[in-house]
Each structure stands twice: as structure tokens, then as C-alpha cells.
Amino acid sequence: MHTSAPSAPRYDVAVSDGAHGSVTVSPKSASKGSTVTVTVTPDKGYALETLAITDKNGSALNLTDRGNGKYTFTMPSGPVTVAATFMDDNTMLNFFVDVPAGAYYYDAVLWAAEGGIVTGTDAVHFSPDASCTRAQLVTFLWRAAGSPAVNYAMNFTDVDSGAYYAEAVRWAASEKIVEGTTAETFAPDAAVTRAQVVTMLYRFAKAQEMDTTQGGMAIREFDDFDAVPAYALEAMDWAVNAGVLKGDNNRLLPQDNCTRAQIVTMLYRALGEK
């Protein structure tokens, strides 16, 4: 009597799809070595943020993007879980996917991106929480001024003539908006503090002949007023009274590093907000 070979065991593919989208799999159970197709469908106005395939031990499986919301993976010898999360889709606005519409900095980044003042850290990411460097800040200011070309002898040995920020630093130095960390160095990759940012913004505003005479709240009313460096006192006073800088629980936090989102927000308040 002929006996057929036993069929290979099949294992379940569980799906955990987050809010604002759906995930389907085919087949819903499969044997080891089989190809499983995952179809991701975000709701209108949303995009896929993360998609993870894990085996029974919690280890990630390799996933192949087939395009048009379809992905495939090879079934292991055990059950699998497919988990997805979704986020606001700003790519419909030719914008950054990591700048959600509800973020405090959304309008500022949109204004700066549309105006050519900022670019992303790649094609679709702005990296709002990354620390901003001296080179980045000076470049933002330079672009806001219209990217002027100047004939100025710049002596910073750490600013390569081919660097993306070279002409921005040259312009900012010629306008006395920036100074070097020493007579010969600019430190382009150093993070900027809130005190340094408002100082550069203040010098920029004066160079652009903006009104910097706002009066009002004395910055000494903030709990950490004594932490403001002497060089930044006048600029900090302007920034607070012009609404460019807002305190955090009655603190100015002058020595804290500034993120890209915070700096673009200050630029927006100074130059773009109506």
C-alpha cells in the first residue's frame, strides 16, 4: 500500500497593525521556507512608519520591499508576528516625514523649507531633535539673507573652501555675525547653545537693519538669569522681548544646546511669523 509523505507543518502569521492603517498577509499560515506577502495600506493622510517581522524568539526577519506597499519574507520554522505603525504623511506636501503636522515647529520648518533656508538631513528627514551645529546655523542665516556673495578674507583654518558652509561663514564673518572660537578656528561641527543662537540672531537682525529696540520683560526675572553669559545679555533681552525666545518654566536655559527644530522656530519667530 502506498503511503503519502506527511505534509510539512504550517505556522501562523499574526498581524498587529497600529492605528491609521491596515496590514494583511498571504498566506495566513505557511510552512518553513515558504514566501509570505505582507500588504500595507495606510489610511488617507498617513504613511508607514515602521514594519517589523519577528519570529517566536523575538528576532527580526529579513524583509524585502516589493514596492506599492507590498513586502515579502521567508517563513521560519515557527510562528511569526507582523507589526506596523503609521504616522502623518507629510510627503504629500513634498515635506519631511519626521515633521508631524501637530508639532510646535511644523509651521516654522515648512516656512524655512519652502523658502530654501533649510534642507533635510536626507531626502525625507529633517531630524528635528538633532543638535544644530555652528555651520548649520550660519548657513540658515546666510540663506535667509539671500545667500550673498562677499569678497572677504577668511582666515579660519578649519573651514575648507569646498565645504557647503564656506561661503556662509565668509559672509557671516564679514558682517560680524560670527566670531571664531579662536583667531584661526571656527569649529563648524560644534553644537550651538541657546545663548550663542540668540546672539547670532541678534547680530543678524542688526546687520539686516531690523528693529531691535523691543522693550518689556526684564530677563533678570527668569530664574537662571545669572547663567546668561555677559556677551549674550543684550541679545537675550532682545530675543525674549521680541518673542523670538520663550522660557521653559521661567528658565532661559542659555547653556543648553539647541536642536534643529528649536533654531528654525526662532528664525521663524524673528523673520517669518506674521
pLDDT digits (tens, 9 = 90+) for 198-253: 999 999 999 999 988 877 667 888 999 999 999 999 999 999 988 999 888 899 99
Cα separation, 112 vs 268, whole angstroms:
7
Per-residue confidence band for 272, with pLDDT thresholds at 50, 70 and 90: confident
pLDDT tens string 8-49: 899 999 998 788 999 999 999 999 999 999 999 999 888 888
* Residue 8: per-residue pLDDT: 86
For residue 265, the SS3 value is helix
Cα separation, 147 vs 143, whole angstroms:
5
Rounded alpha-carbon distances, angstroms, from residue 88 to 40, 43, 122, 128: 15, 10, 18, 15
* Residue 84: per-residue pLDDT: 94
User: What are the sequence ranges of the domains in the chain?
Assistant: 10-88, 92-272
The residue with greater pLDDT, 88 or 125, is 125
Domain spanning 10-88 has what CATH number?
2.60.40
Q: Cβ atoms within 10 A of the Cβ of 8, count?
A: 12
Asked if 52 and 60 count as a contact pair (C-beta separation under 8 A), the reply is yes
